[in-house]
Amino acid sequence: MAKMKAVVFKKHGTTAELEETYVPIPELGKKDVLVKVKACALNHLDLWVLAGMPGVKVSMPHILGCDIAGEVVEKGKKVLEIGCGTGLFTRKIAETAADLTAIDISPELIEKAAANFSFKNALFMTADAEHLNFAGGSFDCVVGSSVLHHLNLGAALGEIFRVLKPGGKLVFAEPNMLNPQILLQKNIKFLGKMLGDTPDETAFFRGALAGDLKKAGFTNINIAPYDFLHPWIPPALIAPVRVLGSLLEKLPLIKEIAGSLIIEARK
């Protein structure tokens, strides 16, 4: 874990309590900036906090240095959404204040998404997920919903790995091949066509998918089955079915036939 030099105190008192040490660099939050500090000083507020201010609690060890001068080297999290479509999930991601780039291979869908979008922290682009036109190490996170099962998986995972920063995260939701309906739908052509599938799409077994992620270079792989809420559930029954689904997702064996897989991995 990367560390930075800091002056800390572990209990209130005088400047005799100050200690120079190395501490882990905090993870950059969605509204934070990372500053490379060039100069730092103690001011009167630091001394008051060190002495202990009535009614003010601080976590220990506490890092001092209210007065700093430096260079902003990073702003928030840079996120790439693959297969954004008309921007349904893009809006949710943008609400986190991430620096978001949303791509889709369809110019028509990108045009629709951009036309109905009011957030200023999102950039829409037409792009091919199997041949991304971004420099290596460009993003903190790459996300998508129901898109990998349309792609050449090896090519897409290779590109995602390339554009992620070291330690960057992949998060996708994809159909689960062990779900009975999906198993039939993806393997019986006339049934898939009747239900709206395109000829190129498939679904994933989580064990095989974990192997593909590992082959692409990913670590910390976690793939969890979720979602028993079928699209045909009547609106009046959605709430109780969600409650039931949350219980089924915890049951061994039963959870394996959930409709989707949540996929997480690190570069």
Tens-digit pLDDT profile for residues 118-177? 888 899 999 999 999 999 999 999 999 999 999 999 999 999 999 999 999 999 999 999
Higher pLDDT, 73 or 35: 35
Give the pLDDT confidence score for residue 81 in this predicted structure. 97
Predicted confidence (pLDDT) at residue 3 exceeds the cutoff of 90:
no
Higher pLDDT, 208 or 201: 208
Domain range summary for the chain, segments of one domain joined by +: 3-75, 128-266
What are the pLDDT digits (tens) for 110-120? 999 999 888 88
The CATH number assigned to the domain with range 128-266 reads 3.40.50.150
Q: What average pLDDT does range 14-40 have in this prediction?
A: 80
Give the pLDDT confidence score for residue 30 in this predicted structure. 58
The CATH number assigned to the domain with range 3-75 reads 3.90.180.10
Residue 63 burial class via C-beta count within 10 angstroms: exposed 0-12, middle 13-18, buried 19 and up: middle
Q: Where does the pLDDT of residue 179 fall: very low under 50, low under 70, confident under 90, or very high at 90 and above?
A: very high
